[in-house]
């Protein structure tokens, strides 16, 4: 009997799922999940669907449920449900046997090289730049980037032949319900408190990220940041890993740390004691002088270590080609009256803003800092301390629904009012840093829309 497949949520993931289900490559993948053929495809979304997406649903022969349809009705109707990662499935445990993650579908349908990247910070940058670099090294092969970076990973499966390599950016939401995804190379950049409104406990957030590594097979390499590998969460799980584990660090690893890592870490990537080279154990991988000055050094070290694990030589000209400013990540977007304006809207956690402050402070210009957004349960104590201890910070402005919770600076309801207030005190030689440190959803659809509005506002300043 043919099964009814539900698509829950119709954003990037839902649209990619619909196109995939309607494609020929879907048949063997679905068969692996016990679906020899499917009948209806049913789409459910709590928000209203615009005309273009309604047409897409109709073109693929799917059925859109009214927004008033109770979720239980939808879940009972379907034999299999592909949920969008942003949907919290905890209240629906009774239906967990029906849920199939996009990541598990992808892992069954894609048999070429997969490189998967997660982390609280830096994963979008590393994903984008690694994809660009690999395209240079393998000019005769096709390299795709997908996942949380903006292209639905199931879109990759719709086309034949599949790309030779797929570089995936994965969020904790995409990873948490995966049951067998095993990337050829797993990269976990760092780990800081985030999404605690969804995961509740910090260890739950860690466990979601852990799914990147825990299904890897013997010999598959994994690269993690030093602080992750030294954490109690990691050390108590590490001996269960089948992968070949390497660690990357921005600083020299101490003898005590080496001893702690020895039971489960095969290789350590770190700067030499003089700060001249990136070493793999005791062998030079590249000169630190070959790493681009743009962006954050942690991302370049991770990228260099990843290339080494893939058996590729780190070449300066290749890295320089990928060293393009990332939209919404410490990007200089406007200069007027001798004032520089930086868009760092992708800073959705305190640690991202702290990193941006440190990077900008090196330019020795006074900083006017703009904060905003929702905390997602993250503690802002370290952010307050960082702001207090940074002499380059001239003033702080906070906006949005949680503006009073920052515990510092001048407070305004909207970004527009903040920009007006900033321009009343900004003078030549100042840098205005828009690095909210919180999620955008109190006032904007996403961090991109928030950043775009900031850029629009400051470019109107003459």
What does the pLDDT average to over 210-228?
97
User: 302 and 196 in one domain?
Assistant: yes
Whether the Cβ atoms of residue 188 and residue 119 lie closer than 8 Å to each other? yes
Q: Kindly report, residue by residue over 15-71, the tens digit of the pLDDT.
A: 999 999 998 889 899 888 888 766 799 999 998 889 999 999 999 999 999 999 999
Residue 287 pLDDT level (bands cut at 50, 70, 90) = very high
Whether residues 18 and 74 fall in one domain: yes
Are residues 226 and 259 located together in one domain of the fold? yes
Q: Does 315 lie in the same domain as 299?
A: yes
* Cα–Cα nearest to 32, from 150, 149, 157: 157
**Does position 200 have pLDDT exceeding 90, yes or no?**
no
Residue partners of 97: CB distance under 8 A and separation at least 6: none
The phi and psi torsions of 367 (rounded to 5 degrees) equal -115, 130
Q: Are 401 and 372 within 8 A, CB to CB?
A: no
150 falls in which pLDDT band (50, 70, 90)? confident
Residue-number span of the structural domain to which 430 is assigned: 331-459
> So what's the pLDDT on residue 377?
86
* Euclidean distance between CA atoms 270 and 252, whole angstroms: 6
Asked whether residue 253 falls in the same domain as residue 160, the answer is: yes
In total, how many domains does the chain have?
A: 3
As given in the structure block, the two tokens for residue 44 are: 């459910």
Q: Go through the chain and tell me how many residues it has.
A: 462
We report the CATH number of the domain holding residue 445 as 3.90.190.20
Environment class of 170 (CB within 10 Å of its CB; exposed 0-12, middle 13-18, buried 19+): buried
What are 56's two structure tokens? 């897409």
Phi, psi of 281 (to 5 degrees): 60, -110
- Are 308 and 355 in a shared domain? no
**Which among 371, 345, 367 has a CA at the least distance from the CA of 357?**
367
Q: Which strand ranges, in their side-by-side order, compose the sheet holding 331-336?
A: 331-336, 339-343, 430-434, 366-372, 393-399, 410-412
Looking at 175-248, which runs of residues are DSSP E strands? 185-188, 221-225, 244-248
Closest CA to 168 of 137, 135, 127, 206: 127
Considering the domain architecture, whether residues 74 and 160 belong to the same structural domain is answered as no
At which of 322, 355, 386 does a domain end?
322
Residue 245: the pLDDT is 98
- How much of the chain, in percent, has pLDDT values that exceed 90? 84
- Is 148 exposed, middle or buried, given 0-12, 13-18 or 19+ CB atoms closer than 10 A? buried
Burial pattern 378-405, b for ≥16 Cβ within 10 A else e, equals: bebeebbebbeeeebbbbbbbbbebbee
CATH number for the domain including 309? 3.40.1190.10
Q: Is the pLDDT of residue 320 over 90?
A: no
Same domain as 336, residue 318 = no
**CA separation for the pair 66, 74 (Å, rounded):** 10
- 29 half-sphere exposure, CB direction, 13 A CA radius: 23
Helix ranges (H only) for 141-223 are: 153-158, 172-175, 196-199, 202-210
401-449: pLDDT as tens digits: 999 999 999 999 999 999 999 999 999 999 999 999 999 999 999 999 9
pLDDT at 247 over 70: yes
Q: Tell me, what's the pLDDT at 38? A: 67
Q: Residue 101 and residue 85: Cα distance in Å, rounded?
A: 8
Which of 300, 322, 344 is the last residue before a domain boundary? 322
Task: Supply the pLDDT for residue 194.
Answer: 86
What 61-66 contacts at long range (C-beta under 8 Å, 24+ apart), as own/partner pairs, is: 61/22, 62/7, 62/18
Would you call 152 exposed, middle or buried from its count of C-beta atoms within 10 A (0-12, 13-18, 19+)?
Answer: buried
What confidence score (pLDDT) does residue 1 get? 63
**How many angstroms from the chain centroid is the CA of residue 110?**
21
- What does the pLDDT look like over 117-149, one tens digit per residue? 999 998 999 999 999 999 988 777 899 999 998
Question: What is the mean pLDDT of the segment spanning 155-171?
Answer: 93
Residues 284 and 393 placed together within one structural domain of the fold: no
Average pLDDT of the residues of the chain:
94
Same domain, 24 and 92: yes
Residue-level pLDDT at 304: 97
Residue 261 neighbours by CB under 8 Å, 6+ apart: 229, 230, 247, 253, 268
Q: Return the higher-pLDDT residue of 325 and 56.
A: 56
Of 261, 296, 322, which residue constitutes the final position of a domain? 322
CATH assignment of the domain containing 7: 3.40.50.720
* 8 Å CB contact between 434 and 422: no
The b/e string for 24-58 (b: 16+ C-beta within 10 A; e otherwise) is: ebbeebbeeeebeebeebbbbbeeebeeebeebbe
Cβ distance 201 to 129 under 8 Å?
A: no
CA distance 217 to 102: 20
**Which is higher by pLDDT, 199 or 220?**
220
- The enclosing H or E element of 7 equals strand 3-8
CA distance readout (Å), 42 to 93, 406, 432: 20, 43, 47
- Considering the domain architecture, whether residues 255 and 130 belong to the same structural domain is answered as yes
What SS3 class is residue 86? coil
- Helix, strand or coil for residue 327? coil
Give the C-alpha separation, 15 to 23, whole Å: 13
C-alpha–C-alpha distance, residues 269 and 277, integer Å: 10
Whether residue 315 is found in the same domain as residue 337: no
């Amino acid at each position: 009997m043919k099964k009814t497949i539900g698509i829950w949520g119709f954003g990037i993931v839902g649209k990619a799922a619909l196109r995939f289900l309607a494609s020929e490559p879907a048949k063997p993948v679905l068969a692996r999940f016990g679906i020899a053929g499917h009948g209806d495809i049913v789409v459910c979304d709590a928000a209203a669907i615009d005309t273009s997406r309604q047409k897409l649903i109709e073109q693929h022969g799917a059925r859109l449920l009214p927004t008033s349809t109770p979720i239980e009705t939808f879940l009972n109707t379907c034999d299999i449900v592909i949920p969008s990662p942003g949907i919290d499935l905890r209240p629906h445990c009774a239906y967990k046997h029906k849920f199939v993650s996009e990541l598990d579908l992808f892992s069954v349908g894609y048999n070429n090289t997969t490189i998967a990247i997660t982390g609280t910070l830096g994963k979008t940058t590393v994903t984008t730049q690694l994809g660009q670099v690999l395209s240079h090294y393998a000019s005769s092969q096709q390299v795709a980037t997908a996942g949380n970076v903006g292209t639905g990973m199931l879109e990759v499966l719709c086309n034949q032949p599949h790309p030779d390599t797929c570089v995936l950016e994965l969020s904790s939401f995409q990873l948490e319900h995966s049951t067998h995804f095993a990337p050829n190379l797993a990269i976990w950049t760092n780990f800081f408190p985030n999404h605690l409104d969804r995961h509740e406990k910090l260890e739950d957030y860690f466990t979601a990220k852990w799914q990147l590594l825990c299904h890897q097979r013997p010999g598959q390499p994994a690269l993690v940041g030093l602080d992750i590998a030294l954490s109690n969460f990691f050390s108590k799980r590490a001996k269960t890993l089948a992968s070949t584990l390497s660690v990357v660090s921005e600083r020299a690893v101490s003898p005590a740390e080496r001893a702690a890592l020895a039971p489960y870490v095969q290789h350590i990537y770190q700067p030499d004691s003089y700060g001249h080279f990136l070493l793999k154990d005791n062998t030079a991988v590249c000169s630190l002088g070959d790493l681009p000055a743009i962006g954050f050094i942690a991302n370049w070290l991770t990228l260099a270590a990843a290339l080494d694990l893939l058996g590729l030589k780190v070449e300066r000209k290749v890295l320089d080609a990928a060293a393009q400013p990332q939209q919404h990540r410490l990007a200089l977007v406007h200069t007027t009256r001798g004032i520089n304006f930086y868009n760092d809207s992708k800073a959705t956690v305190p640690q991202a803003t702290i990193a941006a402050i440190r990077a900008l402070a090196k330019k020795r210009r006074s900083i006017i800092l703009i904060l905003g957004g929702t905390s997602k349960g993250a503690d802002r104590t370290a952010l307050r301390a960082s702001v207090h201890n940074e002499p380059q910070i001239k003033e702080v402005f906070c906006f949005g629904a949680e503006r009073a919770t920052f515990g510092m600076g001048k407070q305004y309801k909207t970004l527009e009012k903040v920009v007006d207030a900033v321009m009343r005190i900004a003078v030549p030689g100042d840098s205005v840093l828009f690095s909210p440190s919180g999620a955008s959803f109190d006032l904007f659809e996403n961090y991109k829309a928030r950043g775009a509005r900031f850029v629009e506002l400051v470019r109107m300043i003459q």
